[in-house]
């Protein structure tokens, strides 16, 4: 039987297990990336593991999420990251150089290689045939030390693209269509592999918009085969020698198939406040828009900003609307500036931001109260823009620019009819991506050779071995699709404490209930209850570290998002699955006791755990965990376990099986 492209790359990197969907596999990692707000813990944990040098082919540290440095804490984090990259041998991308996914795509993404990144949108270079996966910081530290990365072998789904996109429809609309059909949990445990005749009609930047936002489906990754377009893109980046031809076998068998006829795609938007609330723009036409932002790791490339610039040429942004361009990388800003497009957009009324995540997580450009913001981003979770009860629509650059011109949501086709002289901008790549490279410091040019820690930089927390009893109050009962933005918000007032768990934990679940952290401390711990897809969104391990710090011992949920579940294991919190009925019956404030000796049951491979509620009724909760994950729980988390293993191994470097 032939192999899918995903299977081929996994096979090449397999160090443990078999490529059977649902089974845990260990793979070798070629490249790692970390960004500023997860990176500090990555390096603090690398330090705690007493590792002294990066072992992967390449490691890159970016400073991208919070580059405005409102506070010395952010600046200290960036200085610490530069010192860690220098000390241990990673590339360092300076603050303002751009968003990790964009800069990695431009400089390092390589077909056929594996990439592990401490950011959920790490799958972006799947558009170039790289198998890229997002994970928690500790998994990055271990992989960077030479350890394997463990993940459940995903089901590989064939997304067959047919036809060609019509004018005004874009790659963003393709991934929004996927979200419309499959929902934010439709991709859990899956890799989406794009095939079919439609693939060759899409440029690499269009493909990376699709793979980037595969994360919103909950997917483990998304990938395209490579072809002339990939080779051409790499050549324009001056990296043609990294091209490798990759495709699935003709008789590859897929777990499932989704067919998308590109010629039927039309301009879409995701309505507030979930990326899968997708409708045609025409359904919401007329909605007044006060803010438009073109940018982010999804649509912040040169090829995304250019269409908006062309649409605005000789026109003006509507008087009641503010338009901001937040480029995904300095390379994009630099080329647009050299070509004169920046001046053109400024003349139309656009304001420019530095190349940063910024507004995507509510840092700057917070929308006005009771207003609509149209963004080319990938997430519109409630409150993420920096104001509660926000109203953020996700859209393509074309739909965003049309909204800026009209001051209201409008299908660009209708706007073109109305204006008469508005042409579909299409997709255009620059002849060469000739931005300067001054903002990337190579390991050989490192500025520092020892760690520099400011006063806000704490240490990596090490858990305690699992105990026999788990009993406590249900401190919070939550609904479906709780995001990591609910668990640990990423707005600037909170983000600056990412290196200081004691302080950060004060904000735990504040977006659901701002009394939670104090109640958890007062109760000396307890358990959490949630509906489906608990922990979707970000890879931030802080969403497990902080509850652990507050004494949370178990989370009972109908289902979990992949990265967050791995983070719960990594920090010694037991993730138990409950059925719909148990979820319905259990109430906040109830007392929950796991009837068995938990430590023993986890160690002996028990999957069913009886839970006793209020000493009154019982239900069964399931632990779906591999032997390795059970070992992590028993030890009190992956940091403690890995440290112990290194000590036994005596090598100081991570063995392949952790
Ligand atoms: C996000 O988009 O939510 C983030 C901020 O990039 C996160 C990373 C983080 O929380 O630091 C992600 O996607 O993993
Ligand atoms: Fe940055 Fe937003 Fe992309 Fe996350 S989703 S990496 S915050 S631009």
155 and 219 share one domain? yes
Single residue among 215, 231, 260 that ends a domain in this structure? 260
356 and 413 share one domain? yes
Asked if the structure places residue 622 within a domain, the reply is: yes
Residue 33 Cβ inside 6 Å of ligand 2? The answer reads: no
Q: Three-state DSSP class for 544?
A: helix
Ligand 1 pocket, mutate which of 119, 132, 184, 376 (most atoms under 8 A from CB): 119
- 630-649 burial, b at 16+ Cβ within 10 Å, e below that, comes to bbbbbbbbbbbbbbebbeee
Residue 658 Cβ inside 6 Å of ligand 2? The answer reads: no
Asked if the structure places residue 652 within a domain, the reply is: no
254 and 272 share one domain? no
Q: What is the pLDDT of residue 656?
A: 42
The answer to whether 478 touches 530, Cβ cutoff 8 Å, is yes
The partner residues of 169 in beta bridges, in order of sequence, read none
The structure's pTM equals 0.97
C-alpha of residue 381 to centroid of ligand 2, in Å: 12
Residue 121 Cβ inside 6 Å of ligand 1? The answer reads: yes
CATH number at residue 65: 3.30.499.10
Q: What is the pLDDT of residue 654?
A: 47
208 and 153 share one domain? yes
- Considering only CA atoms, which of 605, 597, 557 is closest in space to residue 580? 557
555 and 613 share one domain? yes
Read off the pLDDT of each residue in 118-146 and give the average, rounded to a whole number. 98
User: Is 606 a residue whose pLDDT tops 60?
Assistant: yes
Ligand 2 pocket, mutate which of 121, 298, 385 (most atoms under 8 A from CB): 121
Mean pLDDT of all residues belonging to the chain = 97
pLDDT tier at 657, thresholds 50, 70, 90: very low
Q: Annotate 580-621 with DSSP letters as a single string.
A: HHHHHH--TT-EEEE-S-HHHHHHTT--EEEEEETTTEEEEE
Single residue among 260, 293, 326 that ends a domain in this structure? 260
559 and 627 share one domain? yes
Read off the pLDDT of each residue in 187-201 and give the average, rounded to a whole number. 98
Structural domain range at position 505? 471-636
pLDDT tier at 649, thresholds 50, 70, 90: confident
168 and 238 share one domain? yes
Residue 215 Cβ inside 6 Å of ligand 1? The answer reads: no
Ligand 2 pocket, mutate which of 379, 386, 485 (most atoms under 8 A from CB): 379
Residue 113 Cβ inside 6 Å of ligand 1? The answer reads: no
CA–CA distance, 374 with 361 (Å, rounded to integer): 14
CA distances (Å), origin 248, targets 4, 8, 193, 234:
4, 8, 9, 21
CB hemisphere CA count around 20 (13 angstroms)? 5
Single residue among 213, 236, 260 that ends a domain in this structure? 260
Ligand 2 pocket, mutate which of 64, 65, 122, 328 (most atoms under 8 A from CB): 65
CA–CA distance, 282 with 156 (Å, rounded to integer): 34
Read off the pLDDT of each residue in 136-157 and give the average, rounded to a whole number. 98
155 and 254 share one domain? yes
Asked if the structure places residue 647 within a domain, the reply is: no
* Ligand (nearest to CA of 99): 2
Percent of the chain whose pLDDT exceeds 90: 97
234 and 297 share one domain? no
CATH number at residue 605: 3.20.19.10
CA–CA distance, 617 with 608 (Å, rounded to integer): 16
Residue 601 Cβ inside 6 Å of ligand 2? The answer reads: no
Asked if the structure places residue 348 within a domain, the reply is: yes
341 and 399 share one domain? yes
Asked if the structure places residue 447 within a domain, the reply is: no
Asked if the structure places residue 426 within a domain, the reply is: no
Percent of the chain whose pLDDT exceeds 70: 99
Read off the pLDDT of each residue in 272-287 and give the average, rounded to a whole number. 98
How many domains, in total, are found in the chain? 3
Q: Express each pLDDT in 434-448 by its tens digit.
A: 999 999 999 999 999
Q: What is the pLDDT of residue 262?
A: 99
Residues sharing a CB contact under 8 Å with residue 376, sequence separation 6 or more, in sequence order:
172, 293, 294, 295, 296, 298, 299, 300, 304, 394, 395, 396, 397, 400
Residues sharing a CB contact under 8 Å with residue 184, sequence separation 6 or more, in sequence order:
216, 217, 218, 274, 275, 276, 481, 533, 536
User: Is 652 a residue whose pLDDT tops 80?
Assistant: no
394 and 296 share one domain? yes
Asked if the structure places residue 227 within a domain, the reply is: yes
559 cis-preceded (ω within 30 degrees of 0): no
pLDDT tier at 658, thresholds 50, 70, 90: very low
Asked if the structure places residue 460 within a domain, the reply is: no
580 and 521 share one domain? yes
Tell which atom from ligand 1 comes closest to the C-alpha of 37: 11
Query: Which residue's CA is minimally distant from atom 1 of ligand 2?
Result: 357
Q: Express each pLDDT in 24-49 by its tens digit.
A: 999 999 999 999 999 999 999 999 99
Residue 540 Cβ inside 6 Å of ligand 1? The answer reads: yes
The answer to whether 84 touches 43, Cβ cutoff 8 Å, is yes
C-alpha of residue 11 to centroid of ligand 2, in Å: 30
Q: Express each pLDDT in 397-421 by its tens digit.
A: 999 999 999 999 999 999 999 999 9
C-alpha of residue 360 to centroid of ligand 2, in Å: 6
pLDDT tier at 651, thresholds 50, 70, 90: low
Residue 492 Cβ inside 6 Å of ligand 1? The answer reads: no
């Amino acid at each position: 039987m032939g192999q899918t492209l995903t299977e081929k790359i996994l096979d090449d990197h397999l160090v443990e297990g078999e490529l059977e969907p649902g089974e845990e596999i260990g793979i070798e990692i070629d490249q790692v990336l970390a960004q500023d707000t997860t990176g500090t813990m990555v390096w603090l944990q690398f330090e705690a593991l007493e590792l002294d040098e990066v072992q992967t082919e390449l490691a890159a540290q970016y400073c991208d999420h919070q580059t405005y440095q409102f506070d010395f804490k952010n600046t200290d984090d960036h200085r610490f990251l530069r010192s860690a990259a220098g000390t241990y041998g990673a590339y360092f991308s300076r603050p303002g150089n751009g968003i990790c996914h964009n800069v990695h795509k431009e400089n390092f993404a390589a077909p056929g290689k594996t990439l592990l990144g401490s950011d959920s949108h790490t799958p972006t270079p799947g558009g170039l045939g790289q198998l890229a996966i997002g994970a928690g910081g500790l998994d990055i530290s271990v992989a960077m030390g030479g350890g394997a990365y463990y993940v459940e072998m995903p089901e590989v789904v064939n997304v067959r693209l047919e036809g060609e996109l019509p004018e005004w429809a874009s790659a963003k609309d393709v991934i929004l269509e996927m979200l419309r059909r499959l929902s934010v949990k439709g991709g859990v445990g899956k890799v989406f592999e794009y095939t079919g005749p439609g693939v060759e009609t899409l440029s690499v930047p269009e493909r990376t918009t699709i793979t980037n936002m595969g994360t919103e489906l909950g997917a483990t990754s998304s990938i395209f085969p490579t072809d002339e377009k990939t080779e051409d893109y790499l050549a324009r980046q001056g990296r043609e020698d990294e091209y490798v031809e990759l495709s699935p076998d003709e008789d590859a068998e897929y777990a499932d198939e989704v067919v998308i006829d590109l010629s039927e795609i039309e301009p879409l938007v995701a309505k507030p406040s979930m990326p899968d609330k997708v409708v045609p723009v025409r359904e919401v036409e007329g909605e007044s828009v006060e803010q438009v932002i073109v940018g982010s790791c999804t649509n912040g490339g040169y090829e995304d900003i250019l269409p908006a610039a062309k649409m605005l040429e000789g026109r003006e942004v509507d008087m009641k609307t503010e338009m901001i361009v937040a480029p995904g990388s300095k390379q994009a800003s630099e080329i647009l500036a050299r070509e004169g497009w920046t001046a053109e957009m400024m003349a139309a009324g656009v304001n420019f931001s530095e190349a940063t995540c910024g507004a995507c997580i509510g840092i700057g450009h917070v929308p006005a109260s009771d207003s609509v913001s149209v963004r080319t981003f990938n997430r519109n979770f409630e409150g993420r823009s920096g104001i509660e009860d926000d109203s953020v629509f996700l859209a393509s650059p074309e739909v965003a620019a049309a909204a800026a011109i009209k001051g209201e949501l409008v299908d660009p086709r209708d706007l073109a009819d109305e204006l008469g002289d508005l042409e579909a901008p299409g997709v255009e790549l620059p002849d060469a991506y000739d931005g300067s490279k001054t903002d990337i410091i190579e390991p050989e040019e490192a500025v520092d050779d020892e760690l520099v820690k400011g006063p806000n930089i704490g240490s990596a927390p090490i858990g305690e071995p699992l105990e026999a009893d788990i009993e406590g109050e249900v401190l919070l009962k939550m609904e479906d699709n709780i995001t990591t933005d609910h668990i640990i918000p990423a707005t600037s007032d909170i983000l600056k404490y990412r290196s200081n768990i004691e302080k950060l934990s004060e904000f735990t679940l504040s977006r659901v209930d701002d009394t939670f952290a104090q109640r958890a401390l007062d109760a000396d711990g307890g358990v959490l209850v949630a509906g489906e897809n608990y922990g979707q969104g970000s890879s931030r391990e802080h969403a497990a570290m902080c509850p652990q710090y507050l004494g949370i011992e178990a989370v009972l949920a109908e289902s979990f998002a992949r990265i967050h579940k791995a983070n719960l294991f990594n920090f010694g919190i037991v993730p138990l699955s409950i059925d719909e009925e148990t979820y319905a019956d259990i109430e906040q404030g109830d007392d929950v006791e796991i009837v068995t000796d938990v430590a023993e049951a986890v160690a002996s491979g028990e999957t069913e755990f009886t839970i006793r509620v209020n000493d009154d009724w019982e239900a069964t909760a399931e632990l779906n965990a591999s032997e390795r994950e059970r070992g992590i729980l028993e030890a009190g988390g992956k940091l403690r376990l890995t440290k112990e293993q290194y000590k036994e191994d005596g090598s100081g470097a991570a063995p392949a099986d952790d």
